[in-house]
Amino acid sequence: MITVMKTYKNISIKRSVSFNRRTLSTGSPRFSRLSWVSRWFQVLVVIGSLISFIVAFCCGYFYVLPSLSQAFHGYSISKSDDSVGSCNVFDGTWVADIGYPLYNATECPFVERGFDCLGNGRRDKDYLKWRWKPKNCNIPEFDVHSILEKLRGKRVVFVGDSMSRTQWESLICLLMTGVEDKKSVYEVNGNKITKQIRFLGVRFSTFNLTIEFFRSVFLVQQGSVPRHAPKRVKSTLKLDKLDDISKQWVNSDVLIFNTGQWWVPGKLFSLGCYFQVGNIVKLGMPIPTAFRIAIGTWASWVEENIDTGRTHVFFRTFEPSHWSNLTRRICKVTQNPVVETKGREQSILTDTVLEVVSNMTIPVNTLHITSMTAFRSDAHVGNWSDNPSVPDCSHWCLPGVPDVWNEIFLSYLFIDNGLPLH
């Protein structure tokens, strides 16, 4: 519009010059009047241009102002590389970084043998050298001493399946790199880290910090067979009741939930486990419907039992596996992250969690790691577990992908939300 106005102004000036020349040569009053009109026309054009500029400036100002305001308050995408506070940290790419891994699994006594891929004979180390880089910011550098101080006197609780246990182990190993006296870190009951134990707690005595794990693969209660149930029913999932150990999750400073890997026919219907609501067994209920009810039950429990003035709640979304053939359970671990996720970035379980959390009446942070993790077909346990005869394209090597989940989680905890954990 400004270009058009400038062109129009030039045309007006040329006409004015022509009119003035004719006035000088003839001395006619008619042309004098035309010259006077032309001058006023120029003035009007200049005034019009000025008004147009002011209007355009104001419109631009009011258009940009909300974005600036949001940027200052952390709601828009930040152009700074200093914080993840105002960008979508889950939208990014994996980049090679020789600064990784952040710890040595063989030096951390809390890594299960089955997740120590290097210790189990994996020779390539490329899978250890990847860092997650969001598009519009950086995840802050892992400062273990600062984090330990901020977690001093706190209780951090993980609740979920074996993927939750892997993240729990990862966080302990990350924090142990900042502890001089390794013996000051111990499992509170003297237990060895195994799959079967429902509760594991590691204490950092120097920092009066405990990091706990509760095994609850479905989050809701698993019950016995109701009366008059069909013979094929061996057990049920009570979708309207949270796990009977849920009382032990209360009074924590941080709660991190996950579930998903067990919500498959092979771990439900094939084992005779069906869904139950109230006293009624729902034999025909599909898994996505049951999952939605269970997550709703979890959300209601959190709203009724958790004091979010003290406890900061997180829910980590579904972690995609990379089986080449689900029927034959073929596991091909790649050397590098894949370029195409082949739909693994999508999950109805993740969509359900996002929907339920968005409708909750209290603040809950969603760690939406589904898409970013879909690229990491190189980081699975594969045949490098404590039982190499059974391939594993579900679980992750340590160090590895769960470390990045924890880096993001800690960034949310201390930077994004400015949580008062100090």
pLDDT tens track for 348-390: 999 999 999 999 999 999 999 999 999 999 999 999 999 999 9
For residue 227, what are its two tokens?
């009366």
254/245 Cα distance (integer angstroms):
17
411/298 Cα distance (integer angstroms):
25
163/249 Cα distance (integer angstroms):
18
Element (H, E) at 185: strand 185-187
Please enumerate in sequence order all residues whose Cβ is within 8 A of that of 187, keeping only pairs 6 or more positions apart, or say none.
110, 193, 200, 201, 202, 203
CA quadruple 292, 298, 304, 307: dihedral positive or negative?
negative
Element (H, E) at 314: strand 312-316
Q: Which of 280, 318, 421, 295 is nearest to 364 (CA)?
A: 295
Q: CA separation (Å) from 315 to 17, 48, 131, 168, 360?
A: 75, 57, 22, 14, 12
% residues pLDDT > 90 (the chain): 71
411/307 Cα distance (integer angstroms):
22
Beta bridge partners of 274: 236
H helices within 256-316, ranges in order? Answer: 287-305
Q: Which pLDDT belongs to residue 284?
A: 94
Q: Running DSSP on this structure, what letter comes out for residue 386?
A: S
CA quadruple 37, 41, 44, 50: dihedral positive or negative?
negative
Burial of 87 (0-12, 13-18, 19+ CB in 10 A): buried
For residue 42, what are its two tokens?
């120029």
For residue 64, what are its two tokens?
């940009």
Q: CA separation (Å) from 418 to 84, 150, 198, 312, 415?
A: 12, 12, 32, 11, 5
Contact predicate 399/102, CB 8 Å = yes
Q: Running DSSP on this structure, what letter comes out for residue 225?
A: P
Q: Which pLDDT belongs to residue 415?
A: 73
Q: Which pLDDT belongs to residue 149?
A: 96
Which regions of the chain are under pLDDT 50?
Answer: 1-34, 36-37, 55, 57-83, 417-422
* CATH architecture, domain defined by 87-416: 3-Layer(aba) Sandwich (3.40)
Q: Running DSSP on this structure, what letter comes out for residue 297?
A: H
Q: Running DSSP on this structure, what letter comes out for residue 139?
A: P
Q: Which pLDDT belongs to residue 46?
A: 58
Please enumerate in sequence order all residues whose Cβ is within 8 A of that of 273, keeping only pairs 6 or more positions apart, or say none.
222, 234, 235, 236, 237, 267
CA 27 to chain centre: 81
Phi-psi sector, 325: left (phi>0), alpha (psi -120 to 50), beta = beta
276/221 Cα distance (integer angstroms):
10
Q: Which of 186, 132, 22, 96 is nearest to 371 (CA)?
A: 132
Q: Which pLDDT belongs to residue 16?
A: 36
261/273 Cα distance (integer angstroms):
15
Q: Which pLDDT belongs to residue 124?
A: 94
Q: Which pLDDT belongs to residue 320?
A: 95
Place of tokens 């006619």: 28
Q: Which of 420, 294, 296, 307 is nearest to 362 (CA)?
A: 307
158/51 Cα distance (integer angstroms):
61
Phi-psi sector, 382: left (phi>0), alpha (psi -120 to 50), beta = left
Beta bridge partners of 367: 316
Q: Quick check: helix, strand or coil at residue 237?
A: strand
At residue 399's C-alpha, the angle toward residues 394 and 402, to 5°, is 55
Q: Rounded to 10 degrees, what is the CA torsion of 214, 215, 220, 222? A: -130
